[in-house]
Amino acid sequence: MFNIALYQPDIPQNTAAIIRLCSCFNATLEIIEPCGFYLNDKRLKRVAMDYLDKTKIITYKSYEDFVIKKKKSRIILMTTKAKKNYSSFKFKKRDTLLFGRESEGVPKIVHKSSSYRLKIPLKKNTRSLNVGMAAAITLSEALRQNYCL
């Protein structure tokens, strides 16, 4: 299945919503630390509910650790700075869909080291989607392409 990776997330409720998303679609959640909250944060637990125990979650101490573990995988960075739309990309099973921090995205090194960079096209004069919404849209398309959902 697919993996959703969060680069140093800083809003626990968004991470919790993505935990539920991963649980419902059998995706693994990968969290690249440091987070802007503790993983036992009550705000995270309140939104994640019992899905926290039903979701495979892997944490990495740094982006470097993440890259080492993913060297045989495609890392697809979802970013507003990409030129290519997610809907024209051919996702493969076991791709890792990477999302940046809510407050500042990802640094240049992450952009450069990602296998692909994709965007969700938005109407003019809007900045970005909530990270949970972006993860749901992207995962849905990846699943549709590979499993005919």
Domains delineated in the chain:
3-147 (3.40.1280.10)
Nearest to 21 by CA among 42, 40, 4, 43: 4
For residue 14, what are its two tokens?
């968004």
Q: What pTM was estimated for this model as a whole? A: 0.92
**Confidence check: pLDDT of 50 > 80:** no
Least confident of 34-38, 93-97, 121-125: 34-38
Cα(6)–Cα(58) distance, rounded to whole angstroms? 11
Rounded to an integer, the average pLDDT of 101-106 is 91
Write out the H or E segment, with its range, that includes residue 136: helix 131-147
- Report the alpha-carbon distance of residue 24 to residue 67 in Å, rounded: 26
Q: What is the rounded end-to-end Cα distance, in angstroms, of the chain?
A: 13
Q: Are 29 and 39 in contact (CB under 8 A)?
A: no
The mean of the pLDDT values for the chain is 91
Give the pLDDT of residue 149.
57
pLDDT band at 53 (very low <50, low <70, confident <90, very high): confident
3-state SS track over 23-68? HHCCCEEEEECCCCCCCCCHHHHHHHHHHHHHCCEEEECCHHHHHH
State the pLDDT confidence band at 89, using cuts at 50, 70 and 90.
Answer: very high
Q: Which residues contact 34 (CB under 8 A, 6 or more apart)?
A: 8
Distance CA 13, CA 84 (A): 29
Percent with pLDDT over 70 in the chain: 97
